[in-house]
Structure 1
Amino acid sequence: LVLLPSGPDPALAAKLENLIGRLWDLGLEVSHSVRTIEQCVEEADRDVTVRTALLESRRVIGSRTLFQEFHRRTREHYDRRAFYEAKRLEQEQRHAKYQDSPYSLEPNIKESPGGLRDLQVIRWISRVCALGEDWAELASRGFITPGEAREAARRERFLQRLRIRLHYAAGRREDRLLFDYQDRIARELGYRPSATRRASEQLMQHYYRTAKAITQLNTLLMQNLAAAIFPSQDDHVEAINPRFRKVRDLLDAATEDLFERDPHAILESFLLMQQRPDLTGMTARTLRALWRARSRIDKAFRRDPVNKANFISILQQPRGIVHELRRMNQYGILGRYLPAFRRIVGQMQHDLFHVYTVDQHILTVVRNLRRLTMVEHAHEYPLCSRLMGGLERHWLLYVAAIFHDIAKGRRGDHSPLGRSEARRFCRSHGLAPQDTELVEFLVEHHLTMSSVAQKQDIFDPEVIRRFVEIVQTERRLTALYLLTVADIRGTSPKVWNAWKGKLLDDLYHAAHRLLRGEELGSDDDIRAKQEEAMRLLRLYGLSDGVQESLWKQLDVAYFMRHDAQEIAWQTRQVHYRVNSEKPVVKARFSPAGEGLQVMIYTPDRPKLFARICGYLGSIGCTILDAKIHTTRHGYALDTFQVMGTTRTPHYREMIALIEHDLADALAPDAPLPPPIRGRISRQLKHFPIQPEVHIRPDERGQYHLLSIIAGDRPGLLYNVARVFGQYGINLHTAKIATLGERAEDVFVVSGEALANPRAVLLLEQDLLEMLH
């Protein structure tokens, strides 16, 4: 800002233009304006952002008298109440932009909740309202304590240092603490890697704790400043009990030293927030007292029967469970009460599919489970909501959710370690033996159902039998299914999709039938599926018998691995051209509710799978699942579940495109395209996944299971299929599991090369070379 006593004459205007031009020539992209004091006041009246920017004005050079007059006129002109409301609303909107969470893995350290802007908002409001120019002055006026003022200054210095390092590392103004810069900045700030944690993880944990502290200070000060700016003439006080009262719809401790005198009141305060819907929050002094009293939560506190009962009661309440657990975490209470939880607060997860810190992921899983109990969300996952409503003591799932990842970051498998923590908690809190056993089971096996559904052939009765041997009871099965859905949905919005939901549903229903004594894959089972398919065909006007020509070429395995709807759809497309030499390609919207289902029927030939994968990849489709079947007369009847990307056309256009072009791409004389070297993501560059390839015979000795773990990238499946073609590998089933940036694919394969140990070794080496 160039401040003038009056408008510039032509000579001064030319000098100012020359000054700005020289700054730009030096590479300083300076935002600038030339104004008088009157113009500044007028602009501030029109735009709150201009009004805010003027608060940060510092005299660099020039008339001290003119600057003082500018300072006086701009400050006196503000409407204090309007400015507070504008900044409060602006902060709410800014927080909503970042999902109201400071715990992003790549946070914006200026704009995210708990960032520098949250401190600046306080300073701006306090300056406009003449309540304090800095943290020390706010403390002297009683808005915060001297200790809180020192903490605010310390946290602000850390973020300022971090931001300066970030700008240097990026070579430009960059406020997002991206993976690209985290390791370098961590080393520059003196963090050193340990046996279990990267230097960047230690830096980020420091950042998250800083953001958490700033969020607390912002909450306290916004409430205290509001009380000064909007003084209430009638602060109605309602006694709740001898320890608490209601003040302006807020829960207030009856005395400043309540939690010091009566530590039982610490957990009681959160319980009251759940039990009293008329309470919208806690007073600033109550929040401050909770923060100070967290040190009172020690072994004796955790052993106290009253505190144990209060904590269990918090989990059993019909409302406010997630809100209060988040509040307890925000103010350090949850980590003090559960020491194992304290270890994972702010802990990053570099597995490339969790987008939250461990503690925030856990609380998100609890939220997902909680939503299943709410009528207003029953339409989202009707089966889950119905099962949750019928599950006895469903609050035990919240306990399992709290402990399922609580041992992350330790040496060893976090699932059995978490089970041990859960066992101690359940026994110390007096849970019944059968409830303790359920929680232990869920924590130890919280990954089992997801793994079976996504990596094994869930249409194979033997797979279902092995899974049922693990779950053993209907109660366990239902609880594990609900926890699994909530867990996957709590990792990242990108990880969950309708297809994964269908796989879990199918596994749940198959296991449930087996637990109830029904036989899977029996003649009666297959006959019932065929009868249902015939009923669907009749709805399309097809008479009985049209299916004969196709069905006599299909073996039992086909009918076991396809549901009645798929059988009817494929029969309708193929029954009149069973022996056609021309490929039949059909696509439809997936019955799973998301993506497309693509059917290919053509004489089988080498490298067919590679050609299909190559084409689908070339139009931007991601393959989620592939069912590969060869008929008795040597035809391939393959079904692919695919998803489009942002660069693919609308699904209706995709259907027409696939049905027209894929048949041409399957021509036997067309050469295979060269391997695709798709670009890997930024995340994979900084947190690479070491590729793994494992080949072993299946339990029956009929096929081989070939599993691959690698960083996901465009063309990965096609490149794998090319290697299969080079070794004459026949594919029977492909289970494609993509977890964020991590691909975990399992193929059921056969071929002469798999009987030769040397050929198997070469196959593994070629696959590993391709995956790097």
Structure 2
Amino acid sequence: MRPTIQTPREIIDRKALTLQLDALGGEGQHGKPEQRQQALVLLKAALQSGHAVIRRRFEAGTPALATRQSIAFLTDQIIRLVFDFTVNRVYRLPNPTAAEKLSLMAVGGYGRGEMAPFSDVDLLFLFPYKQTPWGEQVAEYMLYLLWDLGLKVGHATRSVDECIRLSLSDVTIRTAILEARWIWGDQDLAGQLMTRFQAEVVARTGADFIDKKLAERDDRHRRMGDSRYVVEPNIKEGKGGLRDLHTLIWITKYVYGVDDTAELIQRGLLHADEHRRFVQAMEFLWTVRIHLHYLANRPEERLTFDMQTEIAKAMGYADRPGRLDVERFMKKYYLVAKEVGDLTRIFAAALEERHKKKKPLAAIRARMKRPKTIDGFEIEGGRVNARSEGLFEKQPIKMLRLFHLAQEQGLDIHPEALRLVRRHLKLIGAQMRNDPEANRLFLEMLCSKNDPETTLRRLNEAGVFGRFVPDFGRVVAQTQHDMYHTYTVDEHTIRAIGILSRIESGALKEDHPLSVNVIKEVLSRRVLYVALLLHDIAKGRGGDHSVLGETVAEKLGPRFGLTAAETETAAWLVRWHLLMSATAFKRDIADPKTVVDFAQAVQSPERLRLLLCLTVSDIRAVGPTIWNGWKGQLLRELYYRAEEFLSGGFTGRARSQRIDDTKAEVRKLLADWSKAETDRLLKRHYENYWYSNDPETIARHARMMKAADAAKRPLTLETQTDSFRAVTEVALYAPDHPGLFARVAGALASCGANIVDAKIFTTKDGMALDMFFIQDMEGGAFDRADRLKKLSGTIEGALSGDLKLRSAIAAEKPGLPSRTRVFKVAPQVLIDNNASNRWTVIEVNGRDRPGFLYDVTKTLYGLNLSIGSAHIATYGERAVDTFYLQDLTGMKLTDKRRLAQIERAVLKRLRPEDKPASAKAAAAAKAA
């Protein structure tokens, strides 16, 4: 049933406007300019006034479904006025012939009577036969007048025969005519089209229409990313959006002739509660769409980051502890998108059953071939079904058994069974949650080697997962409003388990060779899966989710059937699941204390193996572009060094032995050098250089330095691309001088390179040997020949002062897209004097932007600080840069006043609009 428009004459009074237009006179003037202009002024004022009324009503609380109808009503009245003015005043025909009939019909969304504030107006000018000169004049005059009114009009001019012929060959035209609605003109002509359309098209093409619309939907989903959890969803075309609901409407109207979806209840296609959910989903999506149009002031269908924030406020969402208003709004959006998917499956099942009933012979044959039955479930056509209404009422645990059986047998689940599960979700309560058998079934599904990802996603889509594990239910559709996390927390978790399963099966051996080998040695396999399931379980609770998640793990471990020791390990993994990535990406792995601190926190080789597998799975599941070979290499290096420590081989003596071994290997690699040349090389570098680099890299550097010294070049650059690690190393050899790092960082940024790591070495004779590891903007190796060629000249210009770095950076990276400016990252400086024995470690957090690293390093140079190494990480809009610093005498920074001065200077250098992080903000950032 369509909502009733309250006091429609307040929106537009067509009767009064008709009198005003009639008063203009000019009957039969064929488009007299002053007459047209006067009519345009009247109509434009009425249109603007009507839209203003509708918007005020909407913002005051009028429901979206009534608002969309009001907009269509206003459009109808304007078009009727334009039509009457055109045929009665401009191109009046006293005695029209049979061919000079014209019917004006709305098609598309406008045909359904559904319009957003900036929707297109799709019109069909319908003629009985071919178009006449009069009809052509009327259509042209109307269209130009409507365009001048500011309406975006799409139109077609066809005869009834053409409509029938084209609809048979083109499903888009067929859909448009299916939704056609008479607006004005000859009503009998419109009726003739719809009668013939039903008899000649619809009656003969039902199955074809269903197949094509479902295929069209699947193709649209693929184009939109094939996920309802994309960070900036398209509310109209995306998966779980309005177009999915429209598809159901089209099919029901086509196959069953249903205009009002409420009739689907009487026809047995939907239950009353399912129809209620259908209407609620439609209301929510339309509310969002109308807000989106009004805020964008254009026909925008994509929920961009900036619009998400604005709409959350417009719809009355407020911040809650641990959750922003925009995160609460987007959680609701994803839940509705999930609901739309559920309704789609339900409706598809009902259609399938009806289709079977229309084929009695097939139904008889199916009955003759009795389906296989397992544990009360029917197995038929590769799917598990639950036919008995009382099956779940008597034994709620059978809901878990349904999914367990499907996974065990490699089968799909019939939509009708999912529908039955949905209707009995309330039976999953405390008794079932504490049932050992129910928990056994759940744990087996989680840890199964038979595609646990698909099973867990089915459980989640059906609503069983959140009911059986309420802590998981709290993160279903939970979002994080940033540019780093691509998926909702539940989707991320399920994807992570899928990745872990593929690592275990060896399917990802090429991407993760170490993890594939290490997982074979894991002794606590089910601990690993449970920990990965729970690692983000406490997000959105207003504290450090790792700490809070540890408590959840301690509670759920015994319930799932883990032993006390297994529970302790799982809880530890949840508590420290970010430890390995934070150490690898933000600390200098070549610094022995980094490895010692990490290994002492891990405590055992088994935990190290578990943590590696969990970390890789977690990072890979964040988003499709987050993982790269460089991150993999850092994790591998940390793993090997920590493993060495835990096995007793990582000692001071071992460090000296490693340096001696490296030097011996370098001698072999430089066998063509004289002994005197090699001896000079070995004495030229400090101990840290030998410990931090492999022999092959040192030999390559040595040849570069020798050639540069012989040619007396003031600056030498050498690039080396490692495709597997997805990184390009830029080795720079030049006389050392203050500010070198900052200038090179700026030069690299101006060439479009992202620095991910840097090692700064100075030889005993005062030469700088700096290594910068760079990637392109997509996280791949910086290996384009034209850009590599540009590096040398740019760095030379930066060091000589000829290149204005700030201008060059702005030219290469003019800034972030405007929609991302909604993100505010309060800058923060963290100083750690315990992370290294020789260096003061400073971590700088802030919103990423062009020149961020350059600005920070330039500030550090101005403070007379020496940078030993830099480790650059970016998490969406957040930059996290870590520097190992000493003063100019080579000492750590210990004076509190000096450290406070450094913190103030760096914070001041960052963007003026950014405010230093408060203790509360800093804690929230750490928790995220």
Q: Fold-level match, TM-score > 0.5?
A: yes
Q: 1:548 Cα deviation (Å)?
A: 3.6
- Tell me what 2:47 maps to: none
Per mean C-alpha deviation after superposition, the further-off stretch among 182-191 and 153-162 is: 182-191
Q: 1:655 aligns with which of 788, 794, 807?
A: 788
Q: Alignment partner of 2:262: what SS?
A: helix
Q: Alignment partner of 2:830: what SS?
A: strand
- Tell me what 1:665 maps to: 798
Partners in 2 of 1:394 and 1:24 — Cα distance?
66
The structure-2 alpha-carbon separation of the partners of 1:660 and 1:399, relative to structure 1 and needing over 3 Å to count, comes to same
- Tell me what 1:691 maps to: 827
Q: Alignment partner of 2:154: what SS?
A: coil
8 Å contact 1:546–1:575 — kept in the other structure?
Answer: no
- Tell me what 1:767 maps to: 906
Give 1 or 2 for the bigger CA radius of gyration: 2
Q: Give the alignment of 1:415-426 within 5 angstroms.
A: 415-426=546-557
Partners in 2 of 1:514 and 1:602 — Cα distance?
36
- Tell me what 1:40 maps to: 163
Please tell me whether residue 490 in structure 1 is matched to residue 613 in structure 2.
Answer: no
The structure-2 alpha-carbon separation of the partners of 1:592 and 1:635, relative to structure 1 and needing over 3 Å to count, comes to farther
Q: 1:673 Cα deviation (Å)?
A: 4.9
Please tell me whether residue 316 in structure 1 is matched to residue 447 in structure 2.
Answer: yes
- Look up the equivalent residue of 1:586 and give its one-letter code: E
8 Å contact 1:237–1:248 — kept in the other structure?
Answer: no
Q: 1:547 Cα deviation (Å)?
A: 3.9
Gaps of 5+ in 2: 1-123, 912-928
The structure-2 alpha-carbon separation of the partners of 1:226 and 1:607, relative to structure 1 and needing over 3 Å to count, comes to same
8 Å contact 1:681–1:713 — kept in the other structure?
Answer: no
Please tell me whether residue 737 in structure 1 is matched to residue 876 in structure 2.
Answer: no
8 Å contact 1:106–1:176 — kept in the other structure?
Answer: yes
8 Å contact 1:209–1:346 — kept in the other structure?
Answer: yes
8 Å contact 1:166–1:174 — kept in the other structure?
Answer: yes
Q: 1:128 Cα deviation (Å)?
A: 1.9
- Tell me what 1:211 maps to: 337
8 Å contact 1:588–1:655 — kept in the other structure?
Answer: no
Instruction: Please give the per-residue CA displacement for 1:24-80, whole angstroms capped at 9, x wherever unaligned.
Output: 222212111111122122322332222222222111112222222222333341422
Q: 1:263 Cα deviation (Å)?
A: 1.1
Q: Give the alignment of 1:15-30 within 5 angstroms.
A: 15-30=138-153
- Look up the equivalent residue of 1:653 and give its one-letter code: D
- Look up the equivalent residue of 1:631 and give its one-letter code: T
- Tell me what 1:362 maps to: 493
Please tell me whether residue 127 in structure 1 is matched to residue 253 in structure 2.
Answer: yes
Q: 2:854 aligns with which of 715, 718, 736?
A: 718
- Tell me what 2:428 maps to: 297
Q: 1:650 Cα deviation (Å)?
A: 5.6
Partners in 1 of 2:605 and 2:863 — Cα distance?
44
- Tell me what 2:735 maps to: 603
Q: 2:374 aligns with which of 205, 228, 241?
A: 241
Normalising by structure 2, report the TM-score. Answer: 0.79
Per mean C-alpha deviation after superposition, the further-off stretch among 700-709 and 482-491 is: 700-709
Partners in 2 of 1:765 and 1:454 — Cα distance?
25
Count residues with an aligned counterpart.
Answer: 768
Per mean C-alpha deviation after superposition, the further-off stretch among 165-174 and 203-212 is: 203-212
The structure-2 alpha-carbon separation of the partners of 1:544 and 1:283, relative to structure 1 and needing over 3 Å to count, comes to farther
Q: 1:674 Cα deviation (Å)?
A: 6.3
Q: Alignment partner of 1:163: what SS?
A: helix
Q: 1:470 aligns with which of 580, 592, 601?
A: 601
- Tell me what 1:526 maps to: 659
Partners in 1 of 2:510 and 2:668 — Cα distance?
29
Q: Give the alignment of 1:94-113 within 5 angstroms.
A: 94-113=220-239
- Look up the equivalent residue of 1:89 and give its one-letter code: A
Q: 1:5 Cα deviation (Å)?
A: 0.9
Q: Alignment partner of 1:135: what SS?
A: coil
The structure-2 alpha-carbon separation of the partners of 1:310 and 1:571, relative to structure 1 and needing over 3 Å to count, comes to same
Per mean C-alpha deviation after superposition, the further-off stretch among 716-725 and 263-272 is: 716-725
Partners in 2 of 1:672 and 1:452 — Cα distance?
31
Q: 1:639 aligns with which of 771, 787, 792?
A: 771
Partners in 1 of 2:339 and 2:302 — Cα distance?
19
Partners in 2 of 1:728 and 1:474 — Cα distance?
42
8 Å contact 1:602–1:637 — kept in the other structure?
Answer: yes
Q: Alignment partner of 1:133: what SS?
A: coil
The structure-2 alpha-carbon separation of the partners of 1:702 and 1:529, relative to structure 1 and needing over 3 Å to count, comes to closer
- Look up the equivalent residue of 2:390 and give its one-letter code: D
8 Å contact 1:696–1:706 — kept in the other structure?
Answer: yes
Q: Alignment partner of 1:487: what SS?
A: helix
8 Å contact 2:751–2:790 — kept in the other structure?
Answer: no
Normalising by structure 1, report the TM-score. Answer: 0.94
Per mean C-alpha deviation after superposition, the further-off stretch among 443-452 and 567-576 is: 567-576
Give the aligned CA root-mean-square deviation in angstroms. Answer: 2.4
Please tell me whether residue 13 in structure 1 is matched to residue 149 in structure 2.
Answer: no
Partners in 2 of 1:543 and 1:367 — Cα distance?
56
- Taking only the aligned residue pairs, the percentage that are identical comes to 34
The structure-2 alpha-carbon separation of the partners of 1:41 and 1:32, relative to structure 1 and needing over 3 Å to count, comes to same
8 Å contact 1:495–1:740 — kept in the other structure?
Answer: no
Q: Alignment partner of 2:184: what SS?
A: coil
- Tell me what 1:62 maps to: 185
- Look up the equivalent residue of 1:40 and give its one-letter code: C
Instruction: Please give the per-residue CA displacement for 1:448-487, whole angstroms capped at 9, x wherever unaligned.
Output: 0011101111111221111111111111001101111111
Q: Alignment partner of 2:153: what SS?
A: coil
- Tell me what 1:198 maps to: 324
- Tell me what 1:328 maps to: 459
Partners in 2 of 1:619 and 1:429 — Cα distance?
53
- Tell me what 1:557 maps to: 688
Partners in 1 of 2:589 and 2:434 — Cα distance?
45
- Tell me what 1:594 maps to: 726
- Tell me what 1:437 maps to: 568
- Look up the equivalent residue of 1:594 and give its one-letter code: A
Partners in 1 of 2:504 and 2:344 — Cα distance?
33
Partners in 2 of 1:571 and 1:264 — Cα distance?
69
Instruction: Please give the per-residue CA displacement for 1:660-700, whole angstroms capped at 9, x wherever unaligned.
Output: 54344333787765696652444652220000123353556
Q: 1:265 Cα deviation (Å)?
A: 0.6
Q: 2:748 aligns with which of 600, 611, 616?
A: 616
Q: 1:619 Cα deviation (Å)?
A: 1.0
- Look up the equivalent residue of 1:635 and give its one-letter code: M
- Look up the equivalent residue of 2:289 and give its one-letter code: R
Q: Alignment partner of 2:649: what SS?
A: coil
Partners in 1 of 2:183 and 2:801 — Cα distance?
76
Q: Alignment partner of 2:846: what SS?
A: strand
- Look up the equivalent residue of 1:282 and give its one-letter code: I
Partners in 1 of 2:692 and 2:478 — Cα distance?
42
8 Å contact 2:751–2:794 — kept in the other structure?
Answer: no
Gaps of 5+ in 1: none
- Tell me what 2:282 maps to: 156
8 Å contact 1:80–1:229 — kept in the other structure?
Answer: no
Q: Give the alignment of 1:71-86 within 5 angstroms.
A: 71-76=194-199, 77-78=201-202, 79-86=205-212
Per mean C-alpha deviation after superposition, the further-off stretch among 195-204 and 639-648 is: 639-648
Instruction: Please give the per-residue CA displacement for 1:489-533, whole angstroms capped at 9, x wherever unaligned.
Output: 111233322111110010001111111221355222122233444
Per mean C-alpha deviation after superposition, the further-off stretch among 291-300 and 754-763 is: 754-763
Q: 1:51 aligns with which of 146, 153, 174?
A: 174
- Look up the equivalent residue of 2:788 and give its one-letter code: I
Per mean C-alpha deviation after superposition, the further-off stretch among 518-527 and 257-266 is: 518-527
The structure-2 alpha-carbon separation of the partners of 1:676 and 1:316, relative to structure 1 and needing over 3 Å to count, comes to closer
Partners in 2 of 1:44 and 1:543 — Cα distance?
86
8 Å contact 2:476–2:488 — kept in the other structure?
Answer: yes
Q: Alignment partner of 1:109: what SS?
A: coil
Per mean C-alpha deviation after superposition, the further-off stretch among 548-557 and 337-346 is: 548-557
Q: Alignment partner of 2:572: what SS?
A: helix
Q: 1:764 Cα deviation (Å)?
A: 2.4
Q: Alignment partner of 1:161: what SS?
A: helix
Partners in 1 of 2:819 and 2:281 — Cα distance?
28
Partners in 2 of 1:134 and 1:320 — Cα distance?
41
Instruction: Please give the per-residue CA displacement for 1:98-138, whole angstroms capped at 9, x wherever unaligned.
Output: 33321223211111221111111111112222263332222
Partners in 2 of 1:24 and 1:671 — Cα distance?
50
